[in-house]
């Protein structure tokens, strides 16, 4: 094929990189809350249902204070009827005088509601299963019974001057007409918000978006969403829910909850800072994420997952030579998140066989050594050869660089070098043939 | 509000639960490949760029064989020009005679292509940065240069009878007209597939869907997608890409790769089995996921994340009483994934203060003890009281149940019991007042 067949591309070389934010809210999403969402942290409710969780009163208070300091809008607590201690802990947290509003989460039943309104909470989240699965195998009630209970509970809680949310459970396996019918009913009697819950983690993003759009044509109140992570979509589903008009997202620190949990606080922040950087940075203390995650991880005896967004040990580590080269020129080339926004640092992983001479040049500069580009390319080849044989650490690389530097700057060693004696390679016992044409930037 | 204001809901009690699959492909997605996708595993390419990765030849072969046995369609390897060892390992894996096709991943440059086609691979994946960021700070080339190089490399690789993929890098920060132009060009000269890469992990699901739909109007070849997970959307983006017409998804075991990695093999399987159960179960050996993840986790010295889909330690653990009750009646109530599909088991976590009497009843049955429902509710209250004070293990619960059972079946203890002596509670030194009205199912 001749070049004349290729349609020439017009280059606008002067156009500024990143002149707008292509990851911001989609202008077509006229109900989007991507720029105005709120967080309901449920570490002390959903999170208590995590297999390893046992929070004593002191730990609950410590976590609640940390979340409040971070800036979550609501803190949701286990039902006061779950156990005596749950009730007294709920009362104790309500007395802390936090900025965040305190919620408790109960079944849609007057017995529970009567206890909940006496705890001092700012709001009550009621939930009832609406899917055929749950109606058949859990509570055994029909939709008419559900509606009657909902009305009774909502009117009772409202009469006490307390916020009330009504949520279905397992919303994505519930009949759409049933759902819209019950939400329309509770919206009419003045519920503060309705909740959609992907209780089993089955929903996919476009399904979530469509349901939000439909629901927002039926209710005028705010919509809250709760997504489980069984199929790995809890962050994405939260994002598309906001695009579709949801206002509040349930999160937990590290996502802890039933099974493998729900939308994680940190992971959602990673998603949202890309879409709404000013809003997120002004509202939430992002540099506290690491401490909050460590606090909760220790309390429930888990490690921060190696691949956790933001705080995973390698979230800001760049390894391949071609990546390192560009990152050194401009971090935005291979980073959509800036580690400094979270009080963290990036790290160029240069001690490996995929390294490139730009990464090694950066290390040479850090070591304050003076070497030409050709010399750096030569020492990079030595490093890659050793990296082919075994894992390298920083000390290995530094030793090779320093030995090489001595060699090129010490007159005596320089003459040895020129006579062909290859001391630092044999020093590492490399049995490989010399690399003929080593590539540095793959 | 009177009940007459509530719109009565029609109940179709006889309707079968789960008569169709609401999570299957959306009929409106006429280009969807949700039911016909393919996997390109890049553990031995992208995964080698993971901070901790150092695979020797033996380990690479072990991983390649495990992936082949699992059923991935393609295995992608590090460029043979990255290092001498990379080249010889590539040649060694090509000689294994695996069912999976072997690919290697190179820069869009003739120097690399000439080496790649001599390794014995079935296909070559070429990539070049097309975003302004990468063009400015990485290779410094314009779109016309990129197109010329692409045509040269594609025609060369095709002339050797080898599959060729052309991918842009950082596709979601590239100019759409540039992208469509270059893809149209390479499609016309017969590239086997084109690749879209979210190199920095910035894309969101609906954005991915829209790009796929648009791209599929421009090219007739297959589309492959590569999603980084910086903002936690790599699984969801892969799913919406398939909905929009992408055919192949790049995955890595545990998602290992640059920074916090790409779409994980296991997590994507969790997503896809919900949408296309027959296709996924017939094509991939799902019960091998745990072994493959353990193999790679050990090789790169990380732990399986506690919240990993499918294999996380609590992925199939149910804790709250209300969940446990329903799960015992029908696992589908709180599970969208069946652990048996992955050679795993579910676990009802009953030893905690959120437990319910249904969970305890199940344990009583396991212990083969004979107790009435009222007796089980009574012993459940004792368990919840101790659970308020400290974390419980199974032995604690079993001891309480067995003591209680002895008490109610031994005539001597029974008379003590009837006289009001509460021996098993004091045995655990519980300083709390008795629970007046304990709830079991929150």
Tens of pLDDT, residues A320-342: 766 777 777 787 778 889 999 99
Instruction: List the catalytic residues of B.
Output: 323
Backbone angles phi, psi at A48, to 5 degrees: -70, -20
Strand partners for B77: B104
Residue-range domains of chain A with CATH:
30-299 (3.20.20.70), 317-431 (no CATH)
Of A11, A83, A170, the CB nearest to B353: A83
3-state secondary structure of B439: coil
Q: What is the ipTM of this complex?
A: 0.83
User: A202 at the B interface (CB within 8 A)?
Assistant: yes
User: Per residue in A314-345, is it b (16+ CB within 10 Å) or e — as a string?
Assistant: bbbbbbbbbbbbbbbeebbbbbbbeeebbebe
Cα–Cα distances (Å) from B224 to B185, B216, B269, B356, B403, in that order, read 17, 12, 17, 48, 61
| Lowest pLDDT segment from A10-14, B77-81, B347-351 | A10-14
DSSP state string for B319-341: -SHHHHHHHHH-GGGS-SS-GGG
Q: Is the pLDDT of residue A349 over 80?
A: no
Instruction: Give the model's confidence band at A417: pLDDT under 50 very low, under 70 low, under 90 confident, else very high.
Output: low
Contact between chains at A185 and B235 (C-beta distance less than 8 A):
no
Record: contact A54-B390, CB cut-off 8 A: yes
Q: What are phi and psi of B167, to 5 degrees?
A: -125, 140
Q: Are strands A347-348 and B38-41 parallel, antiparallel or unpaired?
A: unpaired
CA distance A178 to chain B (A): 7
Q: Which of B284, B263, B285, B294 is nearest to A232 (CA)?
A: B263
Judge whether B104 and B163 are in contact, CB under 8 Å: no
**Would you tell me the crossing angle of helices A57-70 and A289-299 to the nearest 10 degrees?**
160
Q: Which residues of A touch B15 (CB under 8 A)?
A: 132
Smallest Cα–Cα separation from B179: which of B163, B190, B195? B195
pLDDT above 90 for A15: no
Place of tokens 């492909």: B25
**CB interface of A with B, residues 411-430, below 8 Å:** none
Question: Is A410 in the B-facing interface, judged by CB distances under 8 Å?
Answer: no
Burial class (CB in 10 A: 0-12, 13-18, 19+), B398: middle
CB B133 to CB A349 under 8 A?
no
Q: Which residue of A has its CA nearest to B354?
A: A82
pLDDT range class, residue A293, cuts 50, 70, 90: very high
State the Cα–Cα distance between residues B86 and B64, nearest whole angstrom.
Answer: 14
Would you tell me which residues 116-175 of chain B have a C-beta closer than 8 angstroms to some C-beta of chain A?
129, 132-134, 136-138, 142-144, 147-148, 151, 155, 170, 172-173
- Place B19 in a pLDDT band, splitting at 50, 70 and 90: very low
User: Which of residues B275 and A137 earns the better pLDDT score?
Assistant: B275
Q: How far apart are the first and last CA of chain B?
A: 28
Structure tokens at B434: 């008795």
Mean pLDDT of the region B365-377: 88
The verdict on B80 touching A (C-beta cutoff 8 Å) is no
Q: Find the closest chain B residue to A134 by CA distance.
A: B333
Residue B12 near residue A132 (C-beta atoms within 8 A): no
Chosen from B10, B78, B81, B83 to mutate, greatest number of chain A CBs within 10 A: B83
Question: Looking up tokens 């004792």, which residue turns up?
Answer: B382
Q: Does pLDDT of A405 surpass 50?
A: yes
B322 reaches A (C-beta below 8 A)? yes
- pLDDT number for residue A52: 85
Q: Which of A169-173, B69-73, B346-350 has the highest mean pLDDT?
A: B69-73
- pLDDT tier at B174, thresholds 50, 70, 90: confident
pLDDT one-digit tens code per residue, A22-52: 677 887 888 999 999 999 999 999 999 998 8
Are residues A101 and A123 in contact, defined by beta-carbon separation less than 8 angstroms?
yes
Lowest-confidence region among A93-107, A414-428, B330-344, B369-383: A414-428
Chain B residue numbers touching A3 (CB-CB < 8 A)? 148, 151
Using H for helix, E for strand and C for coil, what is the string for chain A? CCHHHCCCCCCCCCCCCCCCCCCCCCCCCCCCCCCCCEEEECCCCHHHHCCCCCCCHHHHHHHHHHHHHHCCCEEEECCCCCCHHHHHHHHHHHCCCCCCEEEEEEECCHHHHHHHCCCCCCEEEEEEECCHHHHHHHHCCCHHHHHHHHHHHHHHHHHCCCEEEEEEECHHHCCHHHHHHHHHHHHHCCCCEEEEEECCCCCCHHHHHHHHHHHHCCCCCEEEEEEECCCCCHHHHHHHHHHHCCCEEEEEHHHCCCCCCECEHHHHHHHHHHHCHHHHHHHCCHHHHHHHHHHHHHHCCCCCCCCCCCCCCCCCEECCHHHHHHHHHCHHHCCCCCHHHHCCCCEECCCCCCCCHHHHHHHHHHCCCCCCHHHHHHHHHHHHHHHHHCCCCHHHHHHHHHHHHHHHHCHHHHHHHHCCCCHHHHHCCCCCCCCCCCCCCC
Instruction: Supply the pLDDT for residue A420.
Output: 44
Residues 6+ apart with CB under 8 A from B183: B166, B168, B194, B215, B218, B219
- Residue B440 pLDDT > 50: no
Using a pLDDT cut of 90, give the percent of chain B over it. Answer: 59
Closest CA to A165 of A73, A29, A266: A73
**pLDDT of B2:** 41
Query: Would the CB atoms of B326 and A134 count as touching at under 8 Å?
Result: yes
| Contact in structure between A349 and A304 (CB atoms under 8 Å) | no
Helix (H, G, I), strand (E, B) or coil at B421: coil
CA distance B87 to chain A (A): 11
Nearest to A307 among B233, B254, B438 (CB): B254
CB distance A209–B209 less than 8 Å?
no
Q: How far is A176 from chain B (nearest CA, A)?
A: 12
Residue from the list B83, B306, B388 with its beta carbon closest to the beta carbon of A302: B306
Q: Which H or E run includes B168?
A: strand B163-169
CB contact under 8 A, A48 and B354: yes
* DSSP state for residue B420 in the 8-state scheme: T
| Interface list for A 373-392 with B (CB within 8 A) | 384-385, 387-391
DSSP state, residue B137? I
Confidence at residue B347, expressed as pLDDT on a 0 to 100 scale = 80
Window from A33-47, A232-246, B2-16 with minimum mean pLDDT: B2-16
User: Is residue B191 pLDDT above 80, yes or no?
Assistant: yes
Q: How many CA atoms lie within 13 A of A401 on its CB side?
A: 26
Nearest to B202 among A6, A274, A388 (CB): A274
Instruction: Give the integer Cα–Cα distance in Å for B281 and A212.
Output: 32
**Dist. CA B174–CA B131, nearest whole Å:** 4
Q: Is the pLDDT of residue B442 over 60?
A: no
How far away is chain B from the Cα of A59, in angstroms, using its nearest Cα? 13
**Shortest CA gap A369–chain B (Å):** 25
Q: Which residue has better confidence, A234 or B134?
A: A234
**Cα–Cα dist A335/A147, whole Å:** 49
Q: Is the CB of residue B277 less than 8 Å away from at least one CB of chain A?
A: no
Q: What are phi and psi of A125, to 5 degrees?
A: -100, 115
Query: Closest chain B residue to A272 measured between Cα atoms?
Result: B231
| A197-211, A368-382, A389-403, A413-427: the lowest-pLDDT one | A413-427
Residue B182's pLDDT is 93
Look up A323 and say whether it is catalytic: yes
Contact A1 B189 (CB under 8 A): yes
B384 by DSSP, 3-state: which?
helix
Alpha-carbon torsion A184, A186, A187, A192, what sign? negative
Segments in B230-332 forming alpha helices (H): 234-244, 265-275, 277-283, 289-299, 321-329
Q: What are phi and psi of B68, to 5 degrees?
A: -65, -45
pLDDT of res. A412: 66
Residues from chain A that touch B143, judged by Cβ atoms under 8 A, are 9, 11
Other Cβ atoms less than 10 A from the Cβ of B20: the count is: 6
Given CB atoms, is A52 within the 8 Å cutoff of chain B? Answer: yes
**Integer Cα distance of B227 and B233 in angstroms:** 8
Least confident of B17-21, B136-140, B161-165, B250-254: B17-21
Q: Do B17 and A50 touch (CB under 8 A)?
A: no
Q: Is A28 within 8 Å of chain B by CB? A: no
Tell me what the pLDDT averaged over chain A comes to. Answer: 86
Residue B413 has pLDDT above 80, yes or no: no
CA-based nearest residue to A352, from A327, A379, A388, A324:
A388
B106 contact residues in A (CB cutoff 8 A) = 442
Higher pLDDT, B127 or B21: B127
Q: Mean pLDDT over residues B366-383, rounded?
A: 89
Q: How many CA atoms lie within 13 A of A54 on its CB side?
A: 15
As a whole number of angstroms, the distance between CA A67 and CA A62 comes to: 9
Measure A412 CA to nearest chain B CA, in Å.
32
pLDDT-based confidence at residue B76 (cuts at 50, 70, 90): very high
Which of the residues A228, A323, A340, A405 is marked catalytic?
A323
Residue A195 has pLDDT above 90, yes or no: yes
| Residue A277 at interface with chain B, using a CB cutoff of 8 Å | no
Q: Which of A302, A312, A204, A334 is nearest to A267 (CA)?
A: A312
Q: In the Cβ-directed half-sphere of B189, how many Cα atoms lie within 13 Å?
A: 27
**By percentage, how much of chain A surpasses pLDDT 90?**
59
- Tell me the CA end-to-end span of chain A in Å, nearest whole number: 28
Please give the average per-residue pLDDT across B151-160, as a whole number.
97
Lowest-confidence region among A15-19, A182-186, B289-293, B301-305: A15-19
Q: Sign (positive/negative) of CA torsion B380, B386, B387, B388?
A: positive
Contacts with B, A 90-119, CB within 8 Å: 106-107, 111-112
φ, ψ at A183 (rounded to 5°): -65, -40
Are the beta carbons of B144 and A11 separated by less than 8 Å? yes
pLDDT of residue A17: 39
Q: Chain B contacts of A8, Cβ < 8 Å?
A: 144
- Determine contact: A44 vs chain B, CB below 8 A: no
């Amino acid at each position: 094929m001749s070049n004349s067949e290729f349609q020439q591309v017009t280059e606008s070389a002067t156009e500024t990189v990143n002149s707008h934010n292509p990851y911001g809210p989609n202008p077509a999403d006229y109900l989007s809350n991507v720029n105005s969402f709120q967080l309901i942290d449920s570490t002390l409710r959903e999170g208590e249902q995590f297999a390893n969780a046992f929070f004593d009163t002191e730990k609950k208070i410590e976590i609640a204070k940390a979340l409040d300091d971070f800036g979550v809008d609501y803190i949701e607590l286990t039902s006061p009827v779950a156990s005596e201690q749950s009730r007294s802990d709920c009362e104790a947290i309500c007395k802390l005088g936090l900025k965040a509003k305190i919620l408790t989460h109960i079944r849609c039943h007057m017995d529970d509601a009567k206890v909940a309104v006496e705890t001092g909470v700012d709001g009550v989240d009621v939930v009832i299963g609406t899917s055929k699965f749950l109606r058949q195998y859990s509570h055994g009630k029909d939709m008419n019974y559900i509606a009657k209970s909902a009305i009774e509970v909502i009117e009772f809680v409202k009469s006490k001057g307390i916020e009330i949310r009504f949520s279905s459970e397992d919303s994505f396996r519930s009949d759409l007409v049933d759902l819209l019918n019950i939400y329309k009913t509770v919206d009419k009697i003045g519920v503060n918000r309705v909740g959609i819950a992907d209780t089993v983690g089955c929903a996919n993003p476009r399904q979530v978006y469509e349901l939000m759009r439909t629901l927002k044509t039926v209710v005028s109140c705010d919509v809250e969403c709760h997504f489980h992570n069984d199929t790995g979509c809890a962050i994405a589903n939260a994002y598309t829910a906001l695009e579709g008009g949801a206002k509040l997202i349930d999160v937990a620190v590290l996502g802890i909850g039933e099974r493998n949990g729900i939308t994680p606080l940190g992971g959602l922040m990673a998603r949202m800072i890309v879409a709404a950087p000013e809003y997120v940075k002004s509202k939430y203390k992002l540099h506290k994420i690491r401490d909050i995650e460590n606090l909760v991880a220790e309390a429930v005896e888990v490690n921060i997952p190696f691949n956790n967004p933001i705080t995973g040990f390698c979230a800001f580590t760049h390894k391949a030579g071609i990546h390192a080269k560009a990152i050194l020129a401009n971090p935005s080339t291979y980073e959509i998140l800036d580690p400094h926004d979270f009080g963290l640092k990036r790290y160029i992983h240069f001690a490996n066989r995929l390294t490139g001479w730009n990464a090694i040049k950066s290390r040479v500069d850090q070591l304050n050594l003076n070497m030409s580009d050709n010399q750096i390319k030569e020492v990079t080849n030595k490093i890659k050869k050793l990296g082919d044989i075994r894992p390298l650490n920083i000390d290995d690389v530094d030793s090779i660089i320093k030995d090489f530097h001595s060699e090129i700057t010490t007159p005596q060693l320089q003459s040895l070098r020129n006579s062909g004696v290859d001391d630092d390679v044999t020093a590492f016992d490399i049995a490989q043939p010399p690399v003929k044409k080593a590539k540095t930037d793959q």
